[in-house]
Amino acid sequence: MFRTRRQHRYELLRKVGFLPFEARTISRVPLKVPYLDRLMKERFKDYKQAFKEEWSRAKWERSIKKQYREYNWFDNKGRADPWQMLRDFEHGYRAKHPEYESPWEKRRQKMKDFIAVVEKELVKLPERPPMSTAMKRRMREQQQEAKRQFEHIRETRKEEEKEKQ
């Protein structure tokens, strides 16, 4: 059966031990992100341990929510926020690997470089030549013709309204 990449990531995250709300959010992140690998391995290790100790699903969920409270992974509204957890793991990964550059930062840097190049090219472009008198006359004629057309449309509509009454 055909599944999207995101659906595949969601199912993988669920199998590793993430709760549905976590898997739904984290499935947006590609699997090749290095700190996601560490997060998944740690969660799977905890999940296996809970399975060995024969925890119930409710106990597993309580332990995950307890972890959220310990590390303060909540959003502004006080809900558990998997993005906070992901950022926490990203900061930990960056502390160990200072050479790591986030793909989002790379994209932002490329965009800044692109904008700088475009701005330099725009400065090099010659200024537009002033509009000739013939062009100005043609534009005025077109504007007057458009005004006449709109006036004709207005008059036609007024006549139609009078006929309806």
The C-alpha atoms of residue 26 and residue 73 are separated, in whole angstroms, by 14
Task: Flag the least confident range among 112-116, 141-145, 157-161.
Answer: 112-116
**Digit-coded pLDDT (tens) for 75-86:** 888 889 999 999
| Locus of tokens 């490329």 | 110
**Digit-coded pLDDT (tens) for 40-81:** 999 999 999 999 999 999 999 999 999 999 999 998 888 899
Q: What is the pLDDT of residue 150?
A: 94
Neighbours of 71 (CB within 10 A): 11
**Digit-coded pLDDT (tens) for 84-108:** 999 898 888 888 888 877 766 667 7
**Digit-coded pLDDT (tens) for 13-27:** 999 999 999 999 999
Q: Cβ(76)–Cβ(17) under 8 Å?
A: no
Q: What is the pLDDT of residue 1?
A: 60
The C-alpha atoms of residue 13 and residue 41 are separated, in whole angstroms, by 10
Q: What is the pLDDT of residue 112?
A: 79
CA-closest candidate to residue 36, choices 70, 86, 76:
86
- 124 pLDDT band, cuts 50/70/90, is confident
The C-alpha atoms of residue 137 and residue 141 are separated, in whole angstroms, by 6
Half-sphere exposure of 103 (CA within 13 A, CB side): 7
Dihedral angle computed from the Cα positions of residues 39, 40, 41 and 45, in that order, rounded to the nearest 10 degrees: 100
- 18-48 burial, b at 16+ Cβ within 10 Å, e below that, comes to bbeebbebbbebeeebebbeebbeebeebbe
